[in-house]
Amino acid sequence: MNLLISLGIEGTAEKTGIGIVDSDGNVLAMAGKQLYPEEGGIHPREAAEHHAKWIPQLIPQAMEEAGLSYKDIDFISFSQGPGLGPALRTVATSARTLALSLNVPIIGVNHCIGHVEIGKLDTGARNPVTLYVSGGNSQVIAYESGRYRIFGETLDIAIGNCLDHFGRETGLGHPGGPVVEKLAKEGSYIDLPYVVKGMDFSFSGLLSAALRAHKNGERIEDICFSLQETAFAMLVEVTERALAHTEKDEVLLCGGVSANSRLREMMQIMAEEHYAKFYMPEMKYSGDNGVMIAWLGQLMYKTFGPLKIEDTHIIQRFRTDEVDAPWVDNTKYKLNLPKEIRAKGAESDIYEATWLGREAIVKNRVSKSYRIVEIDNKI
């Protein structure tokens, strides 16, 4: 059986990415170019212009790296959404043009699911609860009942947006995340709002409080430390809740914000304390890239076949849970719990015990090592 070759084009925001992947999951080529604005954040028009400039240059680069000719490409995959409208339109137009010129099929894919699937391919995770964190998205995702379901998400801005906005407003520059991480290593805790509502989180109030603290003269290192610790604790808490609810035994971290070493550490600690396995793809696959689009294109092409050209319109608000995903291994892998623990909750361990001579269930609240003491004590 001949392997199919997918060329993927990514461009939902400020990163242009091209990837070439075969149907066995072998990565044949990867090329990309990041947009760094001179000032402020990412302007949708500038992102579109960036993609228009670099897509024609990166495709030949990827083809050369893969050692392929254009007749070897079996179909084109592109990020159909979610993302910035002008950026998505540029990518879709490029994908249509390439598919028509090569006379090959085309398929559009969901950007968020692409992050999950490349994470699974790279790490060997089978059916994890995924924390996907980036500049535009913050979601806790797990596969249930035929689709990737969103078990928790931001109610307002994404965590990456929160950190970048803080960086711009305080003069730290863009992107703000790496600078916040560096300064946080020299900081101490100050109280900031911790906002988890049900299974969702909110960062806008936290951002406003951090900016007020800066205006009031608090040390920038202390604000960065507290902002990072608070925001990440919220994300990890909801991830563990989803892990407890689904009873899965794997956790995956992906998205651009996963570059933060403190977030990785917190997720690792949470997974270990929950008796789950922790996975994170290589950094080159964690941020936006064309390989994840090419690979998800392979999965969807095999399952559903290509799209008609007239169906390749962009979907700017493309929800993760709008896509059927029958290719996912939905085997239930149970946690390997110690004998004395009957069940594992997000905030407590459940034990069987004897109380006044009768069988009983004991629910023991457990302190969370991934959270600093100041935050753990107030929850």
For the chain, which domains are there? 5-116+285-322 (3.30.420.40), 126-280 (3.30.420.40)
Q: Could you read off the pLDDT of 303-337 as tens digits, one per residue?
A: 999 999 999 999 999 999 999 999 999 888 888 89
In this structure, are residues 203 and 162 in contact, taking their beta carbons and an 8 Å threshold? yes
175: preceding bond cis by omega (within 30 degrees): yes
Q: Is the pLDDT of residue 366 over 70?
A: yes
Tell me how far CA of residue 77 lies from CA of 16, 34, 219, 294, 353, in angstroms. Answer: 14, 20, 47, 6, 55
Q: Is the pLDDT of residue 1 over 70?
A: no
Q: Is the pLDDT of residue 108 over 90?
A: yes
Q: Which structure tokens are listed for 82?
A: 């979610």
Distance in angstroms (rounded) separating the CA atoms of residues 30 and 34: 13
Q: Which structure tokens are listed for 43?
A: 């302007």
Q: Could you read off the pLDDT of 179-215 as tens digits, one per residue?
A: 999 999 999 999 999 999 999 999 999 999 999 999 9
Q: Is the pLDDT of residue 302 over 80?
A: yes
Per-residue confidence at 269, pLDDT binned at 50, 70, 90?
very high
Q: Is the pLDDT of residue 102 over 70?
A: yes
Q: Is the pLDDT of residue 341 over 70?
A: yes
CB atoms < 10 A from the CB of 295, how many?
A: 29
Owner of token pair 């069940």: 343
Q: Taking residues 6-14, report their average pLDDT.
A: 98
What is the value of pTM for the model shown?
Answer: 0.95
Q: Could you read off the pLDDT of 48-57 as tens digits, one per residue?
A: 999 999 999 9
Q: Which structure tokens are listed for 224?
A: 């960065």
